[in-house]
Structure 1
Amino acid sequence: MKTLQQLLDNKKHKTVISIAPHRPVFDALVVLAEYKIGALVVLDGDKLVGVFSERDYAREIILKGKSSKTTPISEVMSSNVLTVKPNDTVEQAMNIMSDKHIRHLPVLEGNKVIGMLSIGDLVKETIEYQQTLIKQLESYITG
């Protein structure tokens, strides 16, 4: 199975899309819509301080009647962020996401965020891997 670095190398968007914690939630929503993604890493300078997702917006802004134009991201982001390393495998990341019921994982090299992977990225890779294995087994069986 591939490493997370290999997955990041094959992604269309190579740059990490992030936002600062002091920015209003509305700004994050604009970025999410512009890039058609479901979550952003929240960086204070180069330091990972959280993840903001559509789920955070729904639960912390809409359901609580807060304003997305005046509420800073730091008030509603997930700050207890699980991360993975570039040399971790797709399987390891899938296990973390499944066990912890999360949809996005920042990839850190040392203390630097080098990418963000979604459950969709991992599922796509897993399906491709399984299809390759099936073809190899069929080829072996048929000789």
Structure 2
Amino acid sequence: MTDHTVRLDHVVLWVTDPVAAARFYQESVGLEPVRVGEFAAGRVSFPSVRVNEETILDLAPYGLAPRMDMLPGSADSAGHPVNHVCLSLSPAGFDALRARLAAHGVPMTDVGHGSFGARGSATGTFYFRDPDGNVIEARHYT
């Protein structure tokens, strides 16, 4: 049987220092780093962090932006940040992320309620920035 479900594979975040960004996402957010050693050794163009078994965040250095020419005109939008990326967690994972971010001194918004997303209205949601200014939303549903 063929699975025709669309899934999110990756999002590219533009960062100044991909190794430092990977460390932030590992230590402060709890995501698994991918290909950091290969990037540091110059064998790959960027590292990533794993959100889950199907989705990663690519941590692309700004210097890569001029080479993002997969479509005519696509280099013009390279290097521009997205508005934000939202991570959906379990309620326990949500609380653990807030605690981990607080322990690392990462500023966060207060917890909001009822924000609409892919699964309806979230029970809790908050926002924080990574060291490069990328905005990350965290949420949970009941």
Q: Which has the larger share of helix? A: 1
**Which TM-score band (shorter chain)?**
under 0.3
Q: Which structure has the larger Rg?
A: 1
**Higher relative CO (CA 8 A, sep ≥ 6), structure 1 or 2?**
1
